[in-house]
Amino acid sequence: MNSRSLPWLCLLLLRASLSSACQVHYAGHSVSPAHSAPDNLYPVDRVLREIVYTEPDWPQSLGADLYLPQHSGLLPVVLMIHGGGWANRSREDMADISEKLAEHGYAVMNLEYRFAPRYTFPAQLDDLRQALRWLVANAGRYRLDIERINAWGYSSGAHLAALLGGYDRVAAGNAAEALPRLRAVVAGGIPSDLRKYDDSPIVERFLGGTPEQVPQRYADASPIYHVSADDPPVFLYHGKLDLLVTPDQSGDYYAALLDAGVDAELYLHNWRGHFTMFLFGGDAEDRAIDFLDRINDAA
């Protein structure tokens, strides 16, 4: 059993009732069928465990695992960001997809970040920027291509990945502005507009207040609020039966990206919810990897 299945063992009983063919894929260009058996798979050369990517004076020491494939030349990179309502879970949830991406030739930095309610927004975004600084500082050591850094996340991790892609242009300070821009974002089950959560204890803990108390923070922490033409390409996937993060969160974000002229794709599965889309999202993940390959192979 893979590591993603362990936290939700009871959900395995639902698998027989889920049809992988019941899906809709929206894209602004033609796409080929997702590959099930890629021609080239790269063995994972090594996994560097428990890298500390934060500076010594950071409020909390934060770790990551770096997956490196046996692949010559500079490696495109994926920042992998786990979910958990900004308050729990661990990077172990993303170990399987991290290994899968490494087998497709990507260096993957599977990281942890600070949790709410002790640390509220934008602490988590600051942590991701710190991870970008670590990648830049260690690019030569691990053959990392800092011109091809991508982000992938699910649920609250998807929110942070998308926010990192679109938020940096309004960040204050020269250090933040000098960070490399993301090449692409993959976001599964994303809460893209936190302003829709007018009575959510989870979001309130993350943002440090209710919409009435901190209305601008709800907007500022919403990826959809920051959409503009210079955003990186985005691949979205979502289960239509998702009751925790409803699929309009991806649909509205997708529409906003297209309106801004951003390259975007949206994959919807008719019979999956929030957790089952994560556990059994193999075809969506294959589509997402195809998307990353297309964007990162572009000159």
113: nearest Cα among 98, 95, 125? 125
Residue 3 lies in a domain: no
Domain that holds residue 230: 40-297
Six-digit token string for 3 = 């590591």
8 Å CB contact between 233 and 184: yes
The total of other beta-carbon atoms located within 10 Å of residue 210's CB is 16
Q: What is the pLDDT of residue 29?
A: 54
Q: CB 21: neighbour CB atoms within 10 A?
A: 8
Task: Determine contact, residues 187/221, Cβ cutoff 8 Å.
Answer: no
Q: What pLDDT does 177 receive?
A: 52
Q: Let me know if residue 12 belongs to a domain.
A: no
Residue 10 resides in a domain: no
Domain assignment present for 179: yes
- Among 16, 64, 72, smallest CA distance to 42 is for 72
**pTM to 2 decimals?**
0.89
Tokens of 107: 């260096």
Q: Does residue 19 belong to any structural domain of this protein?
A: no
Neighbours of 105 (CB within 10 A): 20
In whole angstroms, give the CA distance from residue 19 to residue 77: 32
25, 67, 38, 90: which is closest to 289 by C-alpha?
38
Return d(Cα 258, Cα 145) in angstroms, integer.
28
Q: Write the CATH number for 198.
A: 3.40.50.1820
Provide the Cα torsion 272, 278, 281, 286; round to 10°: 140
Question: Are the beta carbons of 284 and 267 closer than 8 angstroms?
Answer: yes
The token duo for 15 is: 């698998």
Report the number of distinct structural domains present in the chain: 1
Contact 222, 195 (CB under 8 A): yes
The answer to whether residue 187 is domain-embedded is: yes
Residue by residue, pLDDT tens for the chain (299 residues) are: 455 544 443 333 334 333 444 678 887 554 555 554 455 788 888 999 999 999 999 999 999 999 999 988 999 999 999 999 999 999 999 999 999 999 999 999 999 999 999 999 999 999 999 999 999 999 999 999 999 999 999 999 999 999 999 985 444 444 445 799 999 999 999 999 999 999 999 999 999 999 999 999 999 999 999 999 999 999 999 999 999 999 999 999 999 999 999 999 999 999 999 999 999 999 999 999 999 999 999 64
CA distance 191 to 183: 21
In a domain, residue 136? The reply is: yes
Q: How far is CA 10 from the centre of its chain?
A: 25
pLDDT at 24: 82
Residue 170: predicted pLDDT? 44
96: tokens are: 């399987």
First to last CA, the chain: 39
Contact in structure between 253 and 192 (CB atoms under 8 Å) = yes
> CA 165, CA 154: separation in Å to the nearest integer?
15
Residue 155 gets the label, from left (phi > 0), alpha (psi -120 to 50) or beta, of left
Q: Are 58 and 110 in contact (CB under 8 A)?
A: no
- Integer Cα distance of 208 and 119 in angstroms: 9
Asked if residue 7 is part of any domain, the answer here is no
